[in-house]
Amino acid sequence: MSEDSHSSGSEDAGGGQTVADVIIAELVRWGVGVVFGIPGTSSLGVIDAVRKHPEIRFFQVRHEETAAMAASAYHKLTGRVAACVTIAGPGATNLATGLYDAKEDRASVISLNGQVEAQYAGPGGFQEIDQDAFFRPVTVYNNTLHEKTMAVRLVDAAMRHAIVHRGVAQLSIPNDVQKEVVDPACCAAEGMPPSREIAPSNAGIDRAAEAVNRAERPVIIAGWGARDAIPAVRAIAERIAAPILTTFRAKGLIPGDDPWHLGILGSVGSAQARRRAEEADLLLAFGVGFSKQTNVPGGKPLVQVDLDPIKLGRHAETVSLWGDCGLVLPRLLERLERREDGARKEAVARDRAAWRAQIDREADADAVPIRPPFIMQVLSKILPDDAVITVDVGENGWWFGRNFRMRPGQKFAMSGYLATMGFAMPAAIAAKIAYPDRPAVCITGDGGFSMAMAEFLTAVKYDLPMTVVVLNNHELGMIRVEQRVENYPNFGTELHNPDFAAYARTCGGEGFSVERPAELAPAIVNALESGRPAIVDVETDPKRF
C-alpha cells in the first residue's frame, strides 16, 4: 500500500483527518463509489466525509429501507459493492428489509451506521439500540468501532467478509468517534483478498463426465450462479443434446433463439419445461439455488456445480463439483462424448413453439381492462436491447417471468429469495446510476410501487431518466389469488390509489395514463424518449388469474 493510500480523504478544520475521513477513503480504496442513505445526527461525520471525498457519490433517498435495497440491487446488477448509511436506532432498524434482501440473494453490501456517543447507557437513551445484536442475524460481519486506530482494520474486515462471503457487512460508528482526529499512519491497512476462483479436482470432473455420458435423457438447469459460463452451458447442451431450462433469476441468460432453450423451470415456467425435468434421467444443475419456486424434481440423479458448498449434494445421488461454473464447465465439456440426436432437437423446438404460441394467445390485444400478458408482449417488443429492467414482487413479477421475452443484451434484477415488495423502484435508481447510458425500466404493480413511490422524487432530484410501468389493478392481486386458492373470502386486498400519472407530473417527471390496448405502445415509447423519469400508469384486469 502506498504512503498516501488514505490521503484522499479531506482534512478537518484542525488540519487532521477524522476517523470518518479515513473510513470513507478506505472504502474508496476497496472500490466503493456509491452510497445510498439519509443524513442524521449520529451519522453527520460520515456524511461529511462522503461529501468531501471526490471519488464517492452520495444519493439521498426518502427511506432507509430503499437505501439498502438500492445497494443490494447495485451489486446484483454490477458485481460491485455499494454502501448504505444511516443513523442509530430507527434509521438502522429501517434498513432491515433491504439488508435481508441482500443476505438472501448473496449480494455484497456495506452498511455504515451512526451510533450514539455512549452505548448502552441504560433507560432513557435517545435513538439508542443494541445495534450489534440487531444486525447479527442479517450480516456476515458485524462490529462497532470504539477505538479510532482500528478504523481501517475494521473497514478492511467488513469489506473482506462482504466480498468473500457474499453478504452484508455492518459497521456502527459512534458519533464522537467519527469526529476524532487520527493519523492515518496509525491505521495499518490489509491487502485485498485473493481470487475466489475455485475448481474441483480432475477426478471429480471425470466422475461428472461419466455420469453425463451414461445418461440417456439429460436436462440442464442453469441458475444465476452460471451467469459467467453461458457459452459453456450452451456448448454442453449442443454436445450432449440436452434441453436447457433456467431458474427465474437466470431468465434471459440463455438467448431465446438457442435451439436447446426451453425457458424457465418453476412456478412461472411452462408445462413443457416441467415435463422435460420430470422425464430426465439426469439433471445437470449449474449454479442453481433450489428454491421452492423453481421446484427442481427431487430424487433424481444430479451433476451439481456451485460456488457455495452448502448447496451441494441436494439429492442422494449427486456428483458434487465445488467451484465456479466459469472454470468448471469448460473442463467438463472437454470430457463429454458428442451425441447426435436430431429428433430430440426437433422435439425441443416443437415444445418451444407450443409454449410461445400459448403466450401469444394469452396476449389478447382487444381486452379491456388490458390484460397483463398483452402488457408484457408490448414491452417485449418495445424495450431496447440494452435495457436494464427491474421487477417488483407480486402479480407483475409473475407475468414478467412467464410472458416477457428478454433479448440478448438486456439485464434484469429482482428480489429473489426474500421476494419483498417495493424492490423495483430503488433498484431502478441503482440501475440508472450503474448504467447511466442505458435505458432503465421499472416494472411494478400498484401495491409494490406505492410502498416505494417516494423514491420517484429521488429519480427526479438526481435527473435519473427511467420508465416506471405500473400494472394498476387496484388490488394486491397475488394475495387475492392466494386467498382464493386457500378458500378464504377476499378481504383486505383492495387498494385506493392516486392518479399515478398525475403524481409523476407533480414530482417533476412525466406521466402517462393508459386505459385501452392501443394507447400502451405509444405511451411506453413516449416515456422512453422523454429523457426524464416517467410513470406509465396502466389499468389492468384484477381478475386475470
pLDDT tens, 523-533? 999 999 999 99
Position 125 pLDDT exceeds 80:
no
Render the burial of 301-310: b for 16+ CB within 10 Å, e for the rest. bbbbbbbeee
Extended beta strands in 381-481, E state: 388-391, 411-413, 440-445, 467-472
CA-CA distances (angstroms) from residue 103 to 83, 211, 390?
A: 14, 34, 18
Give mean pLDDT, residues 373-389: 97
**CA 503 to CA 456: how far, in whole Å?**
9
Looking at residue 183, its pLDDT comes to 87
Give mean pLDDT, residues 382-387: 97
Looking at residue 399, its pLDDT comes to 94
Position 370 pLDDT exceeds 70:
yes
Enter the pTM of the model: 0.94
Give mean pLDDT, residues 373-390: 97
Position 403 pLDDT exceeds 60:
yes
Give mean pLDDT, residues 268-292: 95
Position 4 pLDDT exceeds 80:
no
Contacts of residue 518, Cβ cutoff 8 Å, sequence gap at least 6: none
pLDDT above 70: percentage of residues in the chain? 95
